[in-house]
A and B are shown apart, each in its own frame.
Chain A
Amino acid sequence: MIDMIEKEEPIISEEEAAQYDRQIRLWGLDAQKRLRGSRVLLVGLGGLGAEVAKNLILAGVKGLTLLDHEQVTEESCRAQFLVPVTARGQNRAQASLERAQYLNPMVEVRAYPDRPEDKPDDFFLQFDAVCLTGCSRDLMVRVDQLCSQRNIKVFCGDVYGYYGYMFSDLASINPTTTASFCSLKEALEVDWTSEKAKASLKRTPVDYFLLHVLLKFRTDKGRDPDPQSFAEDSQLLRQIRDDVLESLAVSGDLLSDDFVSYCFSEMSPVCAVVGGVLGQEVVKALSQRDAPHRNFFFFDGRKGNGVVDYFGPN
């Protein structure tokens, strides 16, 4: 990336200096230049996606590509602020494009209406960082495996009602940190039967297990819990909770029923919090400045708790 900067413009324009003044004073000019040379892919323009888009566009990346196959619904208008109320029925990425671009004309914003599953491998490889929201577990695992091999930074995140998480895989050789990252697959497939793991359960945020439940719901139903089918989805959630905890060989008591009615839909303030943390992690990774969070961030909007923890082998 440093090469890219020297080939492009070493001098920051007066316009950029004026607009980015307050952030250059925080993270410095070099960091701003690295951002300016970075291209990012953002999958999913729901509530969380829109927040991440806003944060990265304002930060001044070179390009942000929006990818989303979903259509704009009434729900989308409530969840995010990039889609005009008149855009019902349109593709969500394309409907978000105009307002996203207005946020900062100096960033190249593009939108594609395709399913990420249908995209070939080399589509993902053209970016410096990839950020996946609203994606199935399988897709996230696949993209993570593909990208981290090529030094492309991978981020995942979702918001479910009052709860949200973000995950990062910066496995590539990063000169500023010696800490290691693991793949999403490894992070999700921790073996809880080992003595060591059992001992650490007490200090483990239950949000990790909640994430498993919600990802399984998404895989099984092809969607997230929907307020319109509250009754059946609640029951299904409880069932999946039982199954997941059993399959992970951990106690059924870890996750009480309480969470069920609080994980529907994407809550705007929770999207703002998770999107803020996730956005800043992407900025840090691209600018190669400041220690990244390893490797999960969990937010519980009911308690106001935001925790960083590492899940993976060893």
Chain B
Amino acid sequence: MVQLVGSLRKELADSLSSCRVLVVGAGGIGCELLKNLVLTGFKNIEVIDLDTIDVSNLNRQFLFQKKHVGKSKAQVAKESALQFCPTANITAYHDSIMNPDYNVEFFRNFMLVMNALDNRAARNHVNRMCLAADIPLIESGTAGYLGQVTVIKKGLTECYECQPKPSQKTFPGCTIRNTPSEPIHCIVWAKYLFNWLCSRGHCVLYLCGSQLFGEEDADQEVSPDTADPEAAWNPEEAAARATASEKDGDIKRVSTKEWARSTGYDSIKLFNKLFKDDIMYLLTMDKLWKKRKAPLPLDWQQLENHARPQEDSPGSGLKDQQVLGIWGYCKLFQHSVETLRSQLEQKGDGAELVWDKDDPPAMDFVTAAANLRMHIFSMNMKSRFDIKSMAGNIIPAIATTNAVIAGLIVLEGLKILSGELESCRSIFLNKCPNLRKKLLVPCVLDPPSANCYVCASKPEVTVKLNVHKSMVVFLQDKILKERFGMVAPDVQIEDGKGTILISSEEGETEANNSKFLSDFGIRNGSRLQADDFLQDYTLLINVLHTEDLEKDVEFEVVGDAPDKAPPPPSNQEETNSITNGNKDSAQPSTSSKEMKTDGCFMWRQRKKKSVQENPCTRPSVVLFLPKTDLCTGPNI
């Protein structure tokens, strides 16, 4: 005889009260999820989130109120959820899930892990931890009106990394520095400019094209790029031009930051250098402007003389949504530089500022600088509101989408706890019903990919790079951490001697950092064993040496599709909502610093095999969207 406790079979209800579950993230999805778990009868819940509450969260993260702004999300979420069910056992961690304290043993405590995250690095990490601990993981994501849920179980389903996700969109250096054609190029430039002026930059040497740069991060250079291949009438000329300007001690070759410091961050001098002198320099590279509209340098004095007082009077509607006149942005530039200068002065010697979209002078600076540059390059200027979306990588979000997805997460969880893994599904939430009238589309889960570089039995990849020009630290940061999602890699060379290249223990292999791979005898065909012991993950890397990479490309993973855009969505509206309602191109990386990156939009191949039930009739969208203040965006 069936016995029910509420809607559930008694056996299921009983197992809910005894099992322990982990919720990773207490934001949009997390709040809804905690509520559902508690009401459904889960009694032992642990929730972790490193973030604090912001006022912009309050339109959907309903466990938080205005009075909680600034407090720990995990902690307040726990307190609010306990109100619905005082007998629930909730533990809150105000911490990063990537902290080594949360090792495989920690994960093994749980019957189920549910992600409610907003970035790829954490998703990759939890994916690996759950594989290592062999605990089922429910993954999910939302953006605007769209959402998705899926189940990951070692050996049974694809893991999060089985299908390659499009990498962050980046722009070539010369586009940013010389020939911007879209607002996003100017915004990226403005953020680089901020970093140049306000931070120390990296103390490591990186390679950028054919030039080796000193102290600062060459990836974020803002001054004109004299080595731009497009600029040269012939290749010898480009090389000569580059060498000449370096030898000259040409003022434009002095680092922007040094120069700025030497002028005391004088806003008008800075304005004239960036928006007049540098532009005039670009104009001398006349080949660039044969087929493009040439940029028009700005002159502070002239603009001041022509300024009209009523130019910037506010209309109705949001102040942030207005577009000022050119003089308005000149003044904004001046004002924000002065504010940032005094912030730096207050902090003292060696001070640094980190760009934050919610820090008004930082946002003002980028708004002004980006707009001035857009104007110079004949683009229509944009409001602070729109620039904030792009620069801050804001994903629009509402309560209802998160509510639906969180409901689906719990329903999948119940199937897992009932031992009905085969009935688990990937479910996609569309904005409009598909041709089969479905708004919610369940799809059968795919089995693991045999070539997955994470969950295959002995994962292996081939990486193409130049062993003479790639440094050990580059391998560690850009390849192992950023590309392959390791948190604390250890690398040894399979050279018969087990030479240790990188140790995750601090300081042990620091001396190796700025050496090149070839210095260790690494060459074409060499094999490296990379481990992340926390993730219980070993990856074998085959080195494919090449001298022949595209400009601005420092390595390639063989087998990756080149950075091509995924097929366009069938519903144009969905794209617009994901790109924050603006019609500009997708948001790319605006920083090469360590990214709190992504989640990305991933387009699934249409399945060739027939699916018994609910075949997806349009490409499904795996929605794990990026969210970061620093950079990166959905790759549409």
Residues of A in contact with B (beta carbons under 8 Å apart) = 10-12, 14, 17-26, 28-29, 47, 51, 54-55, 58-60, 75, 77-81, 84-85, 102-105, 161-162, 205, 227, 230-231, 261-262, 264-273, 275-277, 279-280, 283, 290-291, 293, 297, 299, 301, 303-309
Q: Given the complex, which residues of A lie within 8 Å of B36, measured CB to CB? A: 268-269, 272
Closest beta carbon of chain B to A139's beta carbon, Å: 24
The residue of chain A having its C-beta at the shortest distance from the C-beta of B57 within the complex is A22
Contact A25 B2 (CB under 8 A): no
Contact B437 A265 (CB under 8 A): no
Closest beta carbon of chain A to B51's beta carbon, Å: 15
| A54-B62 contact given A22-B396, A273-B408, CB 8 Å threshold | yes
Contact A308 B437 (CB under 8 A): yes
Interface residue? B566 (CB, 8 A): no
Contact B40 A269 (CB under 8 A): yes
Distance of A283 Cα from B400 Cα, bound (Å): 10
Interface of B is mostly: mixed
Contact A78 B398 (CB under 8 A): no
Q: Given the complex, which residues of B lie within 8 Å of A309, measured CB to CB? A: 437
**3 smallest beta-carbon distances between A and B, as pairs:** A306-B440, A272-B407, A26-B396
- Listed by A's residue number, 15 A-B pairs whose Cβ atoms lie within 8 Å are A12-B318, A22-B394, A23-B396, A25-B581, A75-B6, A78-B41, A104-B58, A261-B9, A265-B4, A267-B7, A269-B36, A272-B410, A276-B404, A280-B398, A283-B400
Distance of A51 Cα from B400 Cα, bound (Å): 9
Number of cross-chain contacts by CB at 8 Å = 196
| A269-B318 contact given A18-B55, A58-B399, A280-B400, CB 8 Å threshold | no
Q: Given the complex, which residues of A lie within 8 Å of B440, measured CB to CB? A: 273, 299, 304-307
| A19-B56 contact given A58-B62, A269-B36, A307-B437, CB 8 Å threshold | yes
Contact B439 A26 (CB under 8 A): no
Interface residue? B65 (CB, 8 A): yes
Distance of A301 Cα from B8 Cα, bound (Å): 12
Contact B408 A304 (CB under 8 A): yes
Contact B35 A265 (CB under 8 A): no
- B97-117 contacts to A, CB under 8 A, are none
Distance of A59 Cα from B58 Cα, bound (Å): 10
The residue of chain A having its C-beta at the shortest distance from the C-beta of B149 within the complex is A304
Interface residue? B163 (CB, 8 A): no
The residue of chain B having its C-beta at the shortest distance from the C-beta of A58 within the complex is B399
Contact B400 A277 (CB under 8 A): yes
Q: Given the complex, which residues of B lie within 8 Å of A308, measured CB to CB? A: 433, 437-439
| A277-B439 contact given A55-B403, A269-B36, A304-B425, CB 8 Å threshold | yes
Q: Given the complex, which residues of A lie within 8 Å of B59, measured CB to CB? A: 19-23, 58-60
Q: Given the complex, which residues of B lie within 8 Å of A54, measured CB to CB? A: 62, 399, 403
Interface residue? B39 (CB, 8 A): yes
Contact B4 A264 (CB under 8 A): yes
The residue of chain A having its C-beta at the shortest distance from the C-beta of B86 within the complex is A85
Closest beta carbon of chain A to B222's beta carbon, Å: 28
Interface of A is mostly: helix
Interface residue? B432 (CB, 8 A): yes
Q: Given the complex, which residues of A lie within 8 Å of B411, measured CB to CB? A: 269-270, 273, 301, 304
Interface residue? B623 (CB, 8 A): no
The residue of chain A having its C-beta at the shortest distance from the C-beta of B581 within the complex is A25
Q: Given the complex, which residues of A lie within 8 Å of B414, measured CB to CB? A: 269
Contact A268 B40 (CB under 8 A): yes
Contact B321 A29 (CB under 8 A): yes
Q: Mark B1-36, 1 if CB is under 8 A from A, else 0.
A: 111111111000000000000000000000010011
Contact A25 B394 (CB under 8 A): yes
Interface residue? B295 (CB, 8 A): no
Distance of A309 Cα from B55 Cα, bound (Å): 38
Contact A262 B7 (CB under 8 A): yes
Contact B394 A269 (CB under 8 A): no
Q: Which of B86, B319, B402, B407 has the most CB of A within 10 A?
A: B407
The residue of chain A having its C-beta at the shortest distance from the C-beta of B399 within the complex is A58
The residue of chain B having its C-beta at the shortest distance from the C-beta of A260 within the complex is B2
Interface residue? B540 (CB, 8 A): no
Closest beta carbon of chain A to B109's beta carbon, Å: 24
Q: Given the complex, which residues of A lie within 8 Å of B60, measured CB to CB? A: 22-23, 58
Distance of A297 Cα from B580 Cα, bound (Å): 27
Distance of A78 Cα from B41 Cα, bound (Å): 8
Contact B432 A270 (CB under 8 A): no
The residue of chain B having its C-beta at the shortest distance from the C-beta of A299 within the complex is B440
Closest beta carbon of chain A to B317's beta carbon, Å: 6
Distance of A21 Cα from B401 Cα, bound (Å): 16
The residue of chain B having its C-beta at the shortest distance from the C-beta of A268 within the complex is B39
Interface residue? B316 (CB, 8 A): yes
Closest beta carbon of chain A to B32's beta carbon, Å: 7
Closest beta carbon of chain A to B617's beta carbon, Å: 13
| A25-B404 contact given A11-B316, A12-B318, A264-B7, CB 8 Å threshold | no
Closest beta carbon of chain A to B22's beta carbon, Å: 18
Q: Given the complex, which residues of A lie within 8 Å of B432, measured CB to CB? A: 291
Q: Given the complex, which residues of A lie within 8 Å of B320, measured CB to CB? A: 17
Closest beta carbon of chain A to B23's beta carbon, Å: 14
Closest beta carbon of chain A to B310's beta carbon, Å: 19
Closest beta carbon of chain A to B567's beta carbon, Å: 23
Distance of A309 Cα from B401 Cα, bound (Å): 20
Distance of A26 Cα from B581 Cα, bound (Å): 6
Q: Given the complex, which residues of B lie within 8 Å of A205, measured CB to CB? A: 437
Q: Mark B320-341, 1 if CB is under 8 A from A, else 0.
A: 1100000000000000000000
CB within 8 A of B6: which of A24, A25, A227?
A227
Distance of A308 Cα from B279 Cα, bound (Å): 56
- B197-240 contacts to A, CB under 8 A, are none
Contact A276 B318 (CB under 8 A): no
Contact B400 A276 (CB under 8 A): yes
Contact B84 A272 (CB under 8 A): no
| A26-B397 contact given A20-B59, A162-B7, A303-B442, CB 8 Å threshold | yes
Distance of A262 Cα from B12 Cα, bound (Å): 13
Contact B397 A297 (CB under 8 A): no
Q: Given the complex, which residues of B lie within 8 Å of A79, measured CB to CB? A: 39
Interface residue? B346 (CB, 8 A): no
Q: Given the complex, which residues of B lie within 8 Å of A268, measured CB to CB? A: 35-36, 39-40, 407, 410
Closest beta carbon of chain A to B278's beta carbon, Å: 33
CB within 8 A of A279: which of B396, B397, B400, B433?
B400
Q: Given the complex, which residues of B lie within 8 Å of A11, measured CB to CB? A: 316-317
Q: Given the complex, which residues of B lie within 8 Å of A51, measured CB to CB? A: 403
Closest beta carbon of chain A to B614's beta carbon, Å: 7
Contact B39 A276 (CB under 8 A): no
Q: Given the complex, which residues of B lie within 8 Å of A267, measured CB to CB? A: 6-8, 40
Interface residue? B427 (CB, 8 A): yes
Q: Which of A26, A272, A276 has the most CB of B within 10 A?
A: A272
Contact B577 A26 (CB under 8 A): yes
Distance of A26 Cα from B437 Cα, bound (Å): 24
The residue of chain B having its C-beta at the shortest distance from the C-beta of A85 within the complex is B86
- B52-103 contacts to A, CB under 8 A, are 55-56, 58-60, 62, 65-66, 83-86
Closest beta carbon of chain A to B362's beta carbon, Å: 17
Q: Given the complex, which residues of B lie within 8 Å of A297, measured CB to CB? A: 439
- B249-280 contacts to A, CB under 8 A, are none
The residue of chain B having its C-beta at the shortest distance from the C-beta of A282 within the complex is B400
Distance of A19 Cα from B397 Cα, bound (Å): 12
Q: Given the complex, which residues of B lie within 8 Å of A291, measured CB to CB? A: 432
Distance of A81 Cα from B432 Cα, bound (Å): 29
Q: Mark B566-583, 1 if CB is under 8 A from A, else 0.
A: 000000010001001100
Q: Given the complex, which residues of A lie within 8 Å of B394, measured CB to CB? A: 22, 25
Q: Which of B39, B316, B433 has the most CB of A within 10 A?
A: B39
Closest beta carbon of chain B to A88's beta carbon, Å: 14
Distance of A139 Cα from B385 Cα, bound (Å): 46
Distance of A25 Cα from B402 Cα, bound (Å): 16
Contact B439 A102 (CB under 8 A): no
Contact A279 B403 (CB under 8 A): yes
Distance of A291 Cα from B430 Cα, bound (Å): 13
Contact A273 B56 (CB under 8 A): no
Contact A266 B439 (CB under 8 A): no
Closest beta carbon of chain A to B206's beta carbon, Å: 34
Q: Given the complex, which residues of A lie within 8 Å of B470, measured CB to CB? A: none
